[in-house]
């Protein structure tokens, strides 16, 4: 089984896809504390599943045992394979030391991961063209390259936003080309594609750069990643979830409704009918927001039109900067084959992710957002303290790589190359 290291791992969307494709994680490195706990819990889940002990996981989700008690039942090496570090020049020696111990002389076949993408995001740069210049996050690829130098994997997979292609360094040169040059200096040929998750089993419009590196001088090694024909509509993502209104629902497991569709099984989101889900809890909303939501959903249902902020009744427009808020309120249209891109901003408010059912009249729950990102329903999103946090769950989900996109890339790697 090919062994890999996941850098800037987040809550583990990329890793989940690689595990599903038959890769073995040696370690994950992630700076966010809550996301690190999510990774630990997921690694615990996989260990329990391999050892036919998933009843312990169920006890934990049901609140019968605390996180601390749950972790006591898991072998320490499993939990310790998640390294909660900010990757920097100062922390590299400590991170290398821990990974070396985990490898214990074994060779690493693959490194995956993508540094935080906010510095490259087109949305961020449109507000401030010079924002990326001097942002230390935009140079994290140099630290990524240090892992390539030390472990010399045969391949690496580098994921990021499409804004990376047009980002410029301080001297005006293209950041992406400078990055590829460094990887070449470190002994790696690189090829890349712009992939849309909607072509790979994800009901979401989400374009990402997937750069693949191969050790040595090579050409034409980017694997064929078959496009998956989509015959489904986004509404299927929510059809078996209990109907709830704003402020309703619970974090703890609740059974789903009977489901006779195919997508939720095909995508790996759902394992069996009536399978319980966690984090199906809606945030509360003000009366004003609820009124706006009703208008937005009604306009879509009747006219199939999106509504601009300036089209709202004047009494509902409370922001002077109408240009900034023009596209602020958006329904996740259940009758389209894909949704809008889920991003981390969903943790601040849900205005861009309004539920298509006007009777429920609310923004999406974390579980609904997780389904858009193709996380399995049994995936649990942790907090810092152990007390569940809806906000931190939204943030982790929005920052993630969709699991089915990761799986498509990982499966193509396994099929195309001999590791």
Instruction: Give per-10-residue mean pLDDT for the chain (419 aa).
Output: 97 98 98 99 99 98 98 99 98 98 97 80 50 61 97 97 91 93 98 98 98 95 96 98 98 98 98 98 96 95 87 77 66 96 92 96 98 99 98 97 98 81
Please state whether the predicted TM-score (pTM) of the whole model is above 0.85. Answer: yes
- Establish if 72 belongs to a structural domain: yes
Q: Does 355 reside within a domain?
A: no
In a domain, 63, yes or no: yes
Q: Identify the bridge partners of residue 158 per DSSP, sorted by sequence position.
A: 113, 211
Rounded to whole angstroms, how far apart are CA atoms 162 and 160?
A: 7
| The predicted structure's pLDDT at residue 125 | 45
Residue positions annotated with a catalytic role: 117
CA geometry: angle 409, 115, 93, nearest 5 deg = 115
The tokens for 156 are 């690496």
> How confident is the model at residue 127, as a pLDDT?
44
Residue 26 to residue 81: CA distance in whole angstroms: 7
Give the residue among 345, 351, 256 at the shortest CA–CA distance from 308: 351
233 neighbors 335 (Cβ within 8 angstroms): yes
Residue 339 located in a structural domain: no
Max Cα–Cα distance, the chain, nearest Å:
67
Residue 170 lies in a domain: yes
Neighbours of 113 (CB within 10 A): 26
68 belongs to a structural domain: yes
Q: Which domain holds residue 127?
A: 3-217+401-416
pLDDT at site 117? 63
Report how many domains make up the chain.
Answer: 1
What's the pLDDT score for residue 313? 83
In a domain, 45, yes or no: yes
Residue 134 domain flag: yes
> Quick one: DSSP state of residue 162?
G
Per-residue pLDDT, 332: 96
Rounded CA separation 405/210 (Å): 10
CATH of the domain at 50: 3.40.50.150
């Amino acid at each position: 089984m090919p062994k890999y290291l996941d850098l800037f791992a987040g809550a583990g969307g990329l890793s989940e896809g690689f595990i599903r494709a038959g890769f073995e994680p040696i370690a994950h490195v992630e700076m966010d504390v809550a996301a690190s706990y999510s990774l630990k819990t997921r690694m615990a889940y996989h260990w329990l599943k391999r050892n036919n002990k998933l009843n312990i996981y169920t006890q934990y989700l049901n609140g019968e045992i605390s996180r601390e008690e749950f972790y006591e039942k898991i072998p320490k090496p499993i939990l310790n394979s998640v390294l909660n570090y900010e990757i920097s020049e100062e922390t590299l020696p400590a991170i290398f030391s821990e990974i070396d111990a985990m490898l214990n002389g074994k060779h690493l076949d693959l490194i995956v991961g993508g540094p935080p993408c906010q510095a490259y995001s087109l949305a961020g740069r449109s507000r401030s063209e010079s924002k990326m210049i001097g942002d230390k996050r935009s140079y994290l690829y140099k630290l990524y390259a240090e892992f390539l130098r030390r472990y010399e994997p045969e391949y690496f997979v580098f994921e990021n936003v499409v804004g990376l292609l047009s980002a410029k360094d301080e001297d005006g040169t293209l950041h992406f080309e400078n990055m590829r040059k460094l990887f070449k200096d470190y002994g790696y040929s690189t090829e890349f594609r712009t992939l849309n998750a909607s072509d790979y089993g994800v009901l979401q419009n989400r374009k990402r750069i997937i750069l693949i590196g191969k050790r040595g001088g090579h050409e034409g090694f980017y694997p064929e990643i078959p496009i998956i024909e989509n015959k489904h509509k986004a509404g299927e993502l929510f059809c078996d979830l209990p109907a709830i209104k704003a402020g309703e629902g619970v974090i703890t497991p609740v059974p789903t409704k009977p489901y006779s569709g195919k997508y939720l099984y095909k995508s790996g989101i759902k394992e069996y009918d009536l399978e319980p889900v966690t984090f199906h809890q809606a945030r509360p909303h003000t009366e004003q927001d609820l009124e706006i939501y009703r208008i937005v959903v009604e306009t879509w249902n009747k006219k199939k039109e999106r509504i601009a902020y300036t089209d709202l009744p004047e009494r509902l427009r409370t922001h002077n900067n109408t240009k900034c808020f023009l596209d602020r309120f958006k329904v996740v249209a259940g009758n389209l084959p894909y949704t809008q891109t889920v991003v981390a901003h969903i943790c601040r408010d849900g205005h861009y992710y309004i539920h298509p059912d006007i009777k429920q009249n609310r923004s999406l729950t974390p579980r609904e957002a997780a389904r858009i990102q193709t996380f399995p329903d049994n995936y649990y999103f942790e907090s810092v303290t152990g007390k569940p946090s809806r906000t931190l769950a939204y943030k982790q989900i929005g920052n993630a790589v969709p699991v089915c996109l990761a799986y498509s890339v990982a499966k193509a790697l396994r099929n195309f190359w001999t590791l």
